[in-house]
Amino acid sequence: MKRATLFLTLVLVFSLFAFGGIIDTIKARGYLVMGTNATFPPFEFVDAKNEVVGFDIELARAVAKKLGVTLRVIDFAFDGLIPALQADKFDIIFAGMTITEKRKEVVLFSDPYFDAGQVIVVRKGYKHFDDVDELTNEKVAVQTGTTGDLMATEVPGIILTRFPHFTEALMELSLRRVNAVVIDSSTGEAYIKFNPNLEVGSPILSAESYGAAIKKGNEELLNFVNQVLKELKTSPYDALLDAWF
């Protein structure tokens, strides 16, 4: 009897090591792997030193730091990010990814960390659009698989071209091969800063929130990330209030 108990205990301890959670796996590996699409300034983009930098990178770095590991960033096509996450190519996606019902069917999303919305970017002085429906008969470029793509796809009679990267969509616009790009507002503004021939030609057309995406089953990592986001959002003053009252 005692021997059996000892044996069972050993089996249990062994299986805990063998099937440790995702957090143990990351810690043992020594780095957190983040998937992103680095044509989405200021969230992720390639800087002059050829490094991927941006707001999302800093968020992921805060998660890695709290785990006591380093961060590895993998730059991927946006519409390939979720399939690659499912195939364990990364632990987490930080890609200015909008939390949608459809995506929630296949991945877990962290608490929202940024409010966003789509806008229409045009060449300066081209036209002003009050609504996305006014893109009927217009040549429009989007990045494949984005919420901007989904929104534009709904417009009857739109002449839509999809590109793997926003850089290409905006290049087409500058080259006059299309007349509009549907893009997230903060990223649209960031591109305009470097392309003075472009401007935002619409109000904000949708209400979206970004979340980090994590593979289903990795709830342990999800809770950890939510905790880090919460700590980042809490000011030192709030922390003092919490501690003393």
> What b-and-e string marks burial along 40-51, b requiring 16 or more CB atoms within 10 Å of the CB?
bbebbbeeeeee
Q: Scanning residues 43 to 72, which ones bind ligand GLN (CB under 6 A)?
A: none
- Of the pair 33, 169, the CB lying nearest ligand GLN is at 169
Q: Which of 54, 96, 188, 201 binds ligand GLN (CB under 6 A)?
A: 96
Q: Please give the DSSP secondary-structure letter assigned to residue 162.
A: E
Q: Scanning residues 159 to 218, which ones bind ligand GLN (CB under 6 A)?
A: 184
41 lies in the binding site for ligand GLN (CB under 6 A): no
Which residue stretch of 142-150, 151-159, 215-223, 227-235 sits at the interface with ligand GLN (rule: CB under 6 A)?
142-150
Q: Which of 110, 143, 185, 218 binds ligand GLN (CB under 6 A)?
A: 143
Q: Please give the DSSP secondary-structure letter assigned to residue 75.
A: E
Q: Which of 57, 98, 121, 202 binds ligand GLN (CB under 6 A)?
A: 98
Expressed in angstroms, the distance from the first to the final Cα of the chain is 52
224 lies in the binding site for ligand GLN (CB under 6 A): no
Using DSSP bridges, classify how beta strands 114-116 and 44-46 pair: parallel, antiparallel or unpaired. unpaired
- Of the pair 21, 42, the CB lying nearest ligand GLN is at 42
CA distance 86 to 171: 31
Q: Which of 63, 97, 121, 170 binds ligand GLN (CB under 6 A)?
A: 97
Minimum CB distance to ligand GLN, residue 116 (Å): 6
Q: Would you tell me how many other CB atoms lie within 10 Å of the CB of residue 103?
A: 17
Count of positions on this chain that bind ligand GLN (CB under 6 A): 11
CA distance 227 to 196: 40
Which residue stretch of 84-92, 143-151, 155-163, 170-178 sits at the interface with ligand GLN (rule: CB under 6 A)?
143-151
Distances (CA, A) of 225 to 23, 24, 32, 118, 174: 11, 15, 12, 26, 39
Minimum CB distance to ligand GLN, residue 139 (Å): 20
The answer to whether the CB of 133 falls within 8 A of the CB of 95 is no
Q: Which of 33, 95, 119, 155 binds ligand GLN (CB under 6 A)?
A: 95
Using DSSP bridges, classify how beta strands 180-184 and 118-123 pair: parallel, antiparallel or unpaired. antiparallel
The contact set with ligand GLN (CB under 6 A) reads: 37, 40, 78, 95-98, 143, 146-147, 184
